[in-house]
Chains A and B, each alone.
Chain A
């Protein structure tokens, strides 16, 4: 038994460490993609489908610079240390020309730091933290999705229009939540100077005691609630809040809740009247989105989530950037991405030269119940450039290259 085990282990060890991975061929462009697939599957499985669709479209149209696109994906284990190793592996072993992906903010920042150090081009598709493009911004990192700041800013019109003066804040206890709350407080003060914050609840991520949190908010008697909870925490908060009548006479503005990833699990519990940011995939009638929707449903037999759009636009951005740069040289790519225009299912976006943030926006609308399912109604698209601070403002936030 022991001998056999030792043999198997030895053979496996040989195969693993000595076998050098397949070198990338000259006629392909390799996109090294890493993400927390196992930890955040609800968002990232549709995301992967979106990438797949985009790669197929690009390659059917003849590839980029006459070369085929190839994606190599890695799971980062939701751990920044492992993510940096995965990035190293993609670059050194798989010969990735660029790296892309990441969902969690801390991982996005760690990989961005690695990109800066090793001078590798990195397109962060998902992480929301403002630090990625501002405080910790660097030359080699760009970001696709609208940041926390942008999404909060999108809700401020509704917050002001609600007329609420006594606000309760509820957000998950980590950087996304705390910075969303800080931004909200700051923008609220500018818009409604006499508004006050009556309570702040910051339950642990994925660990909310929803009953107690809802009660504490109700006891503070707010007339407006700002919510940044999502996923499981959100479902529990919504159900408890409805059972206990928290939302009956309170205006609610809520981050991310309109994204199908988080809205669909709410089902019949969907709280009507909330003003949310999200992606009403079934009701957008622009030609860009209709084409994307048809291609996606045709290929996968399911509807797109926001992750699908992000994955799709990530690949389309990279293809456009490499085409414009004329090579995969990181320096040329960075220069090409500064001011790069890309067509996405949400319409044209631009990567700003000042802070490397794309102007991709999001939809803002009301939640309603249609046939027992949640849906966004009365929505409008808010473009990123409408909520981003001016270029000279953000330039001051970024460290010098």
Chain B
């Protein structure tokens, strides 16, 4: 590897960094001003690329290409404004996590919209008119368009910097980032400001996407890929910091370029292919940065937001009627195999729902009562499932011990990652848990010898008497109910009260002698234990495990279940997981556009009842009680 080759790879990295920065900058702005973690931001980038493709190929020539890029960016900005006015504006007073759920729904809808408008094929745009060739640098050919991109990134940063520091709009952005309630009190039209910022951010993402036109085909999977990268860049740089995002984009792009450049190396006689490390490089960078600098490279501790939704009513133990109802429901569920003899699929679906319920309940345990918003809970589910599958297929352990290994593995993983994560809060905590989950995923994905790589492990079936559908359903029911009761007991024990105290007021909790870190860490481990147990059930239910179960998508599903049910109710995760699993099973069968349908249903629920399903039921109950004389 010559020095020139290394320098040249540095240039490649810079070109890659520009787009990353533009997308991340928008995300950062929106978060700074509105506190919304916008999962649909990657969709704007995707739409920008699609729109630019349409304009460039239908108009043709330099005008179609360069004009198309500008028009695409503006069009996406307009779409952003419309979405803000139509949907997000209604949610600023809803709990933070509910905004997240609604942006997830928007992501689903926009993805199907792109499928509807542009069809399924990958669309690679034309080469850039005027910049289609290459220039010779260091005896190598470098695409001239990449040189243009290298310049575009800093130019956008400069323009944003001028807007933010010099204009009235920029002052308002900064003021709102510091204290948006005060900005509102001073008579600034907050609605307009939020719309404008959202539109600007969407336009930036659209521009970032449109500029990729000659380099990257428009595909329907871009939205999720880009949003993950953009989050990493934003968080590594520090949420709300534009120069930070720029720095982080360069750092990550350069590390990847370096890994690719080095390629195969031999460390102590072990051959390593560093190009494979690019799969997870950005998440490793994020984990390291967040451990060393909890608020990112150039970020500051987040400011407290006063209007964070209604204060939450404390949890109360169930009364006698509720207990009777629970026992009745349980009896019905236990009798389900008798009722479902004619339709065995009911049991299959019910088993999947039970597994989802246990998983969602374990996530809710830290999200709700402990206030730790984990974005990477699937890691512990995956660790449990893999531990069980490995125990059964490779070690030949019988079913009982194999199932006990799962919570141990989930708990051990949670103990390790939780020790770093629970020190942080808010988005930073969420992102660190996500980074750890991605690291777990990439290990499962690449360690062919132990985990079967991307294919996974096959042949983990339950032993008699649980090998029938009914038998396994009853086992899943028993384990899930036991898990729910254990989590519930923990919540109403002194430990549970300490956990909630640590969430609501860390300072006061510390002052009366509660070690908040220790309590939350234990809660995190406990959640990992039960997620791992759910994973064991999953492995036996499917007979196989594969890395998907520890992926971002699985973690996001878990979040969606908890939020759909309502984070402030202990029944929330149970109802949310049931409804979500059942909906995705049913809707996916009845329509080709099932993602949009699912997204539409979630949006409907969010807009009609921003407390989740159980929040709605609770409000209904209070309403009825008030109505009585």
Contacts and interface: CB of A to CB of B under 8 A. Distances in A.
Q: Do A and B come from one complex?
A: yes
Contact of A85 (B127, B352, B456, B547): B352
B66 to A, nearest CB: 19
Interface string B305-334: 000000000000000000000000000000
A2 B616 contact: yes
Contacts of B120: 41-42, 45
Interface string A168-182: 000001110010000
A85 to B, nearest CB: 6
A110 B544 contact: yes
A80 interface: yes
Contacts of B194: none
A92 B344 contact: yes
A221 to B, nearest CB: 11
B582 A200 contact: no
A6 B619 CA distance: 12
Given A213-B260, A215-B8, A81 B542 contact: yes
Given A3-B620, A215-B9, A41 B115 contact: yes
Given A199-B263, A213-B260, A219-B1, A106 B546 contact: yes
A13 B575 CA distance: 12
Nearest to B579: A9
Contact of B548 (A80, A235, A236, A240): A80
B278 A218 contact: no
A38 B592 CA distance: 8
A80 B456 contact: yes
Nearest to A113: B458
A211 interface: yes
B252 to A, nearest CB: 11
B243 interface: no
Nearest to A214: B12
Given A93-B345, A174-B453, A244 B140 contact: yes
Nearest to B350: A17
Interface of B is mostly: helix
Given A199-B264, A244-B143, A206 B217 contact: no
Interface string B85-103: 0000000000000000000
A85 B348 contact: yes
A140 to B, nearest CB: 13
A303 B595 CA distance: 29
A109 B456 contact: yes
Contact of B448 (A88, A178, A209, A240): A178
A236 B127 CA distance: 12
B345 A88 contact: yes
Given A2-B609, A239-B215, A216 B348 contact: no
Given A84-B543, A203-B278, A212 B140 contact: no
A126 B553 CA distance: 24
Interface stretch (A71-79, A143-151, A330-338): A71-79
A289 to B, nearest CB: 23
A243 interface: yes
A105 interface: yes
A79 B588 contact: no
A79 B256 CA distance: 28
A35 B553 CA distance: 18
Given A85-B352, A114-B543, A243 B134 contact: yes
B217 A212 contact: no
A81 B446 CA distance: 19
A84 B542 contact: yes
A219 B261 contact: yes
Interface of A is mostly: helix
B445 interface: yes
Contacts of B585: 85, 89
Contact of A109 (B256, B455, B608): B455
Interface string A89-101: 1001100000000
A162 interface: no
B229 to A, nearest CB: 9
Given A41-B115, A206-B219, A216-B9, A173 B456 contact: no
A219 B2 CA distance: 9
B519 to A, nearest CB: 33
A115 B123 CA distance: 37
A2 B620 contact: yes
Contacts of B264: 199-200
A216 B221 contact: no
Contacts of A235: 122, 124, 217
Contacts of A243: 132-134, 141, 143
B458 A136 contact: yes
A42 B445 contact: no
Interface residues of A, number: 77
Given A6-B617, A84-B543, A211-B15, A206 B225 contact: yes
Given A206-B225, A244-B142, A211 B544 contact: no
A16 interface: yes
Nearest to A244: B141
A145 B122 CA distance: 23
A200 B275 contact: yes
A236 B215 contact: yes
A139 interface: no
Interface string A285-311: 000000000000000000000000000
Given A80-B542, A232-B219, A202 B273 contact: yes
B237 interface: no
Contacts of B617: 2, 6
Contacts of A117: 461, 543
Most chain A CB neighbours (cut-off 10 Å) among B256, B454, B582: B454
B166 interface: no
B5 interface: yes
A110 B548 CA distance: 12
Interface string A47-84: 00000000000000000000000000011011111001
A264 B134 CA distance: 25
Interface string B197-230: 0000000000000000011110111000100000
Contacts of A75: 588, 594
B124 to A, nearest CB: 5
Interface in A214-240: 215-216, 218-220, 231-232, 235-236, 239-240
B440 interface: no
A245 B139 CA distance: 12
25 contacts: A1-B608, A2-B616, A9-B613, A20-B343, A41-B121, A42-B122, A89-B348, A93-B345, A105-B454, A106-B546, A109-B458, A113-B544, A173-B279, A200-B275, A202-B273, A209-B253, A211-B146, A212-B12, A212-B261, A218-B140, A219-B1, A231-B122, A232-B216, A235-B124, A243-B134
Q: Give the 5 A-B CB pairs with smallest separation, nearest first.
A: A41-B120, A174-B454, A93-B345, A212-B260, A211-B12
Given A74-B588, A211-B15, A239-B214, 10 more contacts: A37-B592, A77-B588, A85-B352, A109-B458, A114-B543, A175-B455, A200-B264, A243-B132, A243-B134, A243-B143
